[in-house]
Chain A
Amino acid sequence: MDHKRQALVSLIVFATGLGYGALAGASYEALEPAITWTLALLIFLVGVSMGVDYERLRGSLAKIHRPLILVTATIAGALTSGALLAHFLRIPVGISLAIAAGSGWYSFTGPYLAIIDPYYGFVGFTSNLLREIFMLISYPVFSRRIGFEAISIGGATTMDSTLPVVARFGGVDLALAAFIHGLLLTLTVPFLVPLLASLQF
């Protein structure tokens, strides 16, 4: 199956899920166990895929600087877009930067910002949740030309929930870069979001 067809199938599957969720009123809480176990299965398969390709993986480990550049770019993108959106959408700069720096980690960004303001908590949760979905849908399309750079779209989710899509469409080398990128962001976001949200301008 080629990339375009797989992307189309992903889109149809997502739309079907969306329709089911809207009609059945399924909440994230209700589906969380199924998502967690499917995710575990995906990560297990990614692990097997990486393990079988051990020789290639070992070669990739020598190139650790690539995910580091990617993390820098992801954070630079979040800060730049957060500042721009604060100006155009008239949102406090600190809050805007914090939402953008959430990097797809909606279960952290949403609840954290909800303590400050429920409205921004909702925006932080939903936008970061949809960012993960945007990555799942768009990566198959972007992977053909900018497979490495497009990992940024997934943010912190590239170490778990969106890692399989990178592995499937980008290959083992990119999956390793995505995992390290997601891991470093997962370590950074819990410090970055509160710091940015505390900015008083």
Chain B
Amino acid sequence: MNIIYAALLLGLALGLTSSRTRVGRQVKRVTDEALMYVVYALVFLVGASSGRTLVDLASKGDPWLAVHVLSYMLLPGLAGAGFAFIFSRVAGQWTIRGKR
């Protein structure tokens, strides 16, 4: 986990430094473009790492196991998003809109 914090701090330092120069905008554009491809690489790796887990799950042949796993995968996060939707409306007009 330390490498994650180090990478974040290093990135922030580099970003802050370049924001004060003329190449700031260019750095931002290249970074955002690179980010997209690195996200795809991560999605592939996470998929590859869970492929065998899913095969194991199917080979156990217990339908309840799949129901349990899928229920806990979907419901807590979606319920959290639902609560966030309600709380943000109740609390006021400060919900941040995503980038279009």
Q: Does the CB pair A35–B49 fall under 8 Å? A: yes
Against A, the Cβ 8 Å flags (1 = close, 0 = not) of B74-99 are 11111111111111100100111111
Name the distance in Å between B4's Cβ and chain A's nearest Cβ: 5
Closest to A41 in B: B38
Q: Does the CB pair B47–A16 fall under 8 Å? A: yes
Q: Which of B11, B14, B40, B73 contacts A13 (CB 8 A)?
A: B40
Name the distance in Å between A124's Cβ and chain B's nearest Cβ: 8
Give the distance in Å from the alpha carbon of A169 to the alpha carbon of B36 in the complex: 9
Given A50-B11, A147-B96, answer yes or no on A69-B84 (Cβ-Cβ < 8 Å).
yes
8 shortest interchain CB distances as A-B pairs? A51-B15, A47-B11, A21-B51, A147-B98, A17-B47, A77-B80, A152-B80, A171-B99
25 sampled A-B residue pairs with Cβ under 8 A:
A14-B43, A15-B47, A17-B43, A23-B51, A27-B52, A28-B49, A38-B38, A44-B7, A46-B8, A49-B28, A49-B31, A51-B14, A53-B28, A73-B84, A74-B84, A77-B77, A100-B75, A127-B70, A130-B70, A131-B77, A148-B96, A152-B81, A170-B98, A171-B98, A174-B99
